[in-house]
């Protein structure tokens, strides 16, 4: 997989070796990160059986999400969990830029990017104060720089303070996140929302639903990481 930025001396966050690296993850560790095996559901990016003749997974056929497609790159493996935790809980913002650039390269090689703008999933103000940054915001800016598409952070806000959704089952997540976002600016007709990872799609579904209610015609989801096999 191609690396995107100019190298410098730094320590790999996975193997802890110091080298002349273009990212916070060295080339050998990057090769160990799992990418999603094709084919994938065009709606939620969950892998489909190798011999599948359909484009949507069973879950999306039974309960279609509000968003129209998902572009994802990495599978949430143990190594990925390690660097995500360093990003979220240890303040390693470089991970967000690394994830954003790798996803941007994937989009450039595999997909068309004709969004009016990309918007990070909003973070509640209390969470922002605690963490000090919004990782989706950093990923979105890395995507914007590589894809030359503007970032819009003024379209929607998160008005409902929610605890970590990892504490909830799939069905509970949809109930818990309901009405969490408020659109404060009429959205463009075709936009992309950015999140650091997708598990059940509940957050993206809720935000896309709010955007479409406010006038968006199509909402796609961009996420560097897809969590698989979430139980209901």
Q: Is the pLDDT of residue 138 over 80?
A: yes
pLDDT tens-digit series, residues 143-155 = 999 999 999 999 9
- pTM of the predicted model as reported, rounded to 2 decimal places: 0.89
Q: Identify the residue with better confidence: 134 or 229.
A: 134
Query: Distance between CA 115 and CA 190 in Å, rounded?
Result: 5
Total tally of structural domains belonging to the chain? 1
In a domain, 221, yes or no: yes
Q: Is residue 232 included in any domain, yes or no?
A: no
d(CA 153, CA 157): 8
Q: Is residue 204 a part of any domain in this protein?
A: yes
Decide if 222 contacts 194 (C-beta within 8 A): yes
Segments forming the whole domain that contains residue 219: 8-48+57-226
Confidence of residue 131 (pLDDT cuts 50, 70, 90): confident
Determine the average pLDDT of the residues in 25-45: 94
Residue 177 has a CB neighbour count (10 Å cut-off) of 21
Percent of the chain residues past pLDDT 70, beyond the cut: 89
User: Where is mean pLDDT largest: 50-64, 90-104, 181-195?
Assistant: 181-195
Let me know if residue 3 belongs to a domain: no
Looking at the domain assignment, is residue 2 inside a domain? no
Nearest-10 crossing angle of helices 94-110, 78-90: 130
CATH number at residue 170: 3.40.50
């Amino acid at each position: 997989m191609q690396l995107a930025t100019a190298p410098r001396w730094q320590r790999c966050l996975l193997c802890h070796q110091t080298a002349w690296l273009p990212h916070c993850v060295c080339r050998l560790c990057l090769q160990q990160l799992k990418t999603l095996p094709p084919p994938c559901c065009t709606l939620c990016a969950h892998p489909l059986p190798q011999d599948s003749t359909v484009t949507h997974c069973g879950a999306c056929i039974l309960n279609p999400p509000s968003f129209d497609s998902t572009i994802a790159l990495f599978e949430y493996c143990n190594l990925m969990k390690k660097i995500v935790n360093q990003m979220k809980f240890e303040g390693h913002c470089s991970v967000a830029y690394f994830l954003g650039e790798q996803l941007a390269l994937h989009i450039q090689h595999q997909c068309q990017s004709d969004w009016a703008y990309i918007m990070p999933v909003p973070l509640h103000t209390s969470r922002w104060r605690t963490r000090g940054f919004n990782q989706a915001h950093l990923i979105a800016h890395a995507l914007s720089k590589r894809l030359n598409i503007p970032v819009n952070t003024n379209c929607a806000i998160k008005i409902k303070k929610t605890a970590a959704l990892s504490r909830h089952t799939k069905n509970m997540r949809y109930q818990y996140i309901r009405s969490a976002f408020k659109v404060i600016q009429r959205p463009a007709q075709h936009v992309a929302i950015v999140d650091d990872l997708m598990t059940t799609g509940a957050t993206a579904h809720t935000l896309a639903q709010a955007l479409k209610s406010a006038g968006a015609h199509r909402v796609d989801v961009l996420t560097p990481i897809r969590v698989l096999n979430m139980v209901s």
